[in-house]
Amino acid sequence: MSRPEHLAPPEIFYNEDEARKYTQNSRMMEIQEQMTGRALELLMLPEDESMFLLDIGCGSGLSGSVVEENGHFWVGMDISTAMLDIALEREVEGDLILSDMGQGCPFRAGSFDGAISISALQWLCNADKKSHKPVQRLYKFFSTLYACLSRTARAVFQFYPENTEQIELVTSQATKAGFYGGVVIDYPNSTKAKKSFLVLMTGGSVPLPKALGDDGQESRVNYTSKREMVKKSRGKPMKGSREWILEKKERRRRQGKETRENSKYTGRKRSGRF
């Protein structure tokens, strides 16, 4: 069976017929609710507190309805007009925006307490137009998402990666944009129940949540750590580290450029307090 993203761009694939079929299919609705509930768990939101969330690829509002049931407020963005029309028919509580996630998140800095996305991220790995470059579109998306989240927020994406290269493409652009995190794989030994969740954090490197159906095997992949290990194995210092900064300053000196002297403060991270 062909993957939907290989058949047509999302705004064309999810036409009126497909959008209505997607929303009225009871099995599809149940799966959507389960995945949204799991995404909210992985966000690790404060208990008994209403938060303001962004639903990326919100479709007809099935995931937004679960957000509402959990006592949160939300804004949804989607590229399919047909999907959003059905969301309006369903009278969902969230505000809806027609938007291509590959062009970025058009929101004010620090607007949201978290973000979720169900079955949408893999569409960005395709080039549906000649002007589309997946690497650039992914970075544009992640960098603008990072900006519109609060500095304690998380973003959780349930997605269907086609292969390990696609996972690396997605995670590399997310970490380049400033996120920490990795992929949590629920029920890794099951063909039907297996689900992949990209868990991204804005506020430092925190251990990833435990996957469901782990059965003692590793089903959490911290791609930030993996990239660090690869760079160290190649003998190259991590970008932003003291060693990296010293090498960069030395290159500038060899090029005859004005460069500040090294000191014990070179490469030291600021505390963020004044």
Q: pLDDT tens digits, residue range 90-114? A: 999 999 999 999 999 999 999 999 9
Residues 227, 242 share a domain: no
Q: Single out the residue of 110, 119, 13 nearest to residue 62, CA to CA.
A: 119
Q: Is the pLDDT assigned to residue 61 strictly greater than 70?
A: yes
Task: Kindly report the backbone phi and psi dihedral angles of residue 75, in degrees, each rounded to the nearest multiple of 5, phi listed first.
Answer: -125, 135
Q: Inform me whether the pLDDT recorded for 1 exceeds 80.
A: no
Cα distance between residue 45 and residue 29, in whole Å = 24
Q: Are residues 134 and 250 in the same domain?
A: no
For residues 134 and 258, membership in a common domain is answered with no
Alpha-carbon torsion angle 82, 86, 87, 90, nearest 10: 180
Instruction: Please state the domain count of the chain.
Output: 2
For residues 172 and 261, state if they share a domain: no
Q: Which pLDDT score is estimated for 265?
A: 65
Domain with 271 in it? 238-274
pTM: 0.75
* Residues in a beta bridge with 97: 77
- The C-alpha torsion from 208 through 125 and 5 to 73, rounded to 10°, is 50
Let me know whether 85 and 49 are in one domain. yes
State how far the Cα of 240 lies from the Cα of 43, in Å rounded to an integer. Answer: 28
What is the rounded CA–CA span in Å between residue 118 and residue 63?
8
The enclosing domain of 110 has a CATH number of: 3.40.50.150
Q: Is residue 204 domain-shared with residue 246, that is, in the same domain?
A: no
- Residue whose pair of structure tokens reads 């251990």 in the numeric block: 207
- Whether residue 202 sits in one domain with residue 149: yes
pLDDT in tens, 124-143: 988 666 777 899 999 999 99
36, 135: one domain = yes
Residues 227 and 246 in one domain: no
**Are 126 and 180 within one domain?**
yes
Same domain for 137 and 100 = yes
Q: Are residues 166 and 52 in the same domain?
A: yes
Question: CA-CA distance, 249 to 205, in Å (whole number)?
Answer: 27
